[in-house]
Structure 1
Amino acid sequence: MGAALAGAFTNSVFGVLRAYILIALWQARPGLAGYDVSTAVTFCFITQAFIGPMQLLGGGLTLPERIRSGDIALDLVRPAPLQLWTLAEDLGRAAQQLLVRGVAPMVAGAVLFGITVPAGPAQWAGFLACLTAGVVVSFAWRYLVALSVCWLADDRGVMVCSMLLTTLLSGMMVPLALFPGTLGEVVRALPWAAMAQAPADVYLGTAQTGPTLAFQALWAAALLGLGALATRAVRHRVVIQGG
């Protein structure tokens, strides 16, 4: 609990720092990417709240350690599918992180900057649905990264690459609308956009819930499908360090 509270404090502090940077940017370029200052600041704190639940900086799964220790062999013979029970475990972790680490940045943003909130129950419901879908997409991506240990025996390089891609392309740092032209269209179509940018857009009212959920569901299905194929391959190749 102490680590979670420290994480909530850190998320809030970095949220304030990010907010001032975005305020300076939007004051210099009013209306940039279709956002005003208030929308940009709200985007800042809502994405800060996503860091813990979605593990936007990577990790959150115990699979790499279990693969290295050999415990994965026991996991593969359990009656419940490895991918399914790992997803259930991660959803529980995400709910806890949302309450412990996600609320604090939002409160800090509301107190210090007066961030906006969804207009009504329908928008709140749509946001929560998209938030859940974003967690599933994030899990599906992190699950693939974790299983890479079976072939690489060390996930540190893959984890660093994953963190860089997620940080830059999920909308965690800046709205993806800032990417220009064709590059922006490509970035907004990638799976990382389904993690932070998509639920943030629904929260802000700049995107409709239905198309956003469909976009997230498409990537969730694709990545979970790849995860299922990778799990099947793991049954034929489990690397246990030390023997």
Structure 2
Amino acid sequence: MMSQFATYPSLAGRRVFITGGASGIGAALVAAFATQGAVVGHVDLAAEAAATLAQAVVATGQPAPWFRALDVTDTAALQAAIADFAATAGGLDVLINNVANDSRHDPLAVDEAGWRSLMAVNLDCGFFATQAALRLMPAGGSIINFSSINALLGPAGMPAYVAAKSAIVGLTRALARQYGPQGVRVNCILPGWVVTDRQLALWLTPEAEAAWMEQVALKERILPADVANLALFMAADDSRMITGQSLVIDGGRV
């Protein structure tokens, strides 16, 4: 329950935009920021899941999040959504580049179109969302990118995803250096194997989870809410002097 954890007064009224917010970690982010009293907007392809999430947020006594169904690889639509949310909310304080596609793929079977498609969702949209946000974000703003511990571990079977998530770490550092003088912080979260419905449906078998538990220091599942709690801290004024950093949340795997 979120009530067990910290409340951040500085997040009340903050305008927060999240990509891929309808399910998994994204849905946990939307719910967590709404609980803090932030004004939350998000985009996703899954309009039905977003509607269910909105109902859950409203049931907690918070306003329904702003939402637009779109493909984040459509740069014009993504940047327009960010601008429209900011216009509705009266500004933009926090951007969270969460959306990703961790589909497994054989490097010998990936053609040019497939490679570019994976880059578009795992890297490019984060850059172009940030570009739009930087035009709107005041001093004190926070951009939170999502990478993965796979950028550090380099597992087989997903080279495009690993490449994109590695690039996000470098992008975070470069943008933090460039926009620090304007008072904007840019950081990166690298989750381990977070237990979401997608992971349970596709890859997190009992055998795979048992192997994971052998490799971590904390023998518990990492939940979407755990990741959201870290994002809350990184968006709040409590972390005001942290920028250009890659924060791992993986139970002690790496």
Q: Same fold (TM over 0.5)?
A: no
TM-score by length of 2: 0.30
Q: Which has the higher helix share?
A: 1
Looking at both structures, which has the greater relative contact order when contacts are Cα pairs under 8 Å and sequence separation is at least 6?
A: 1
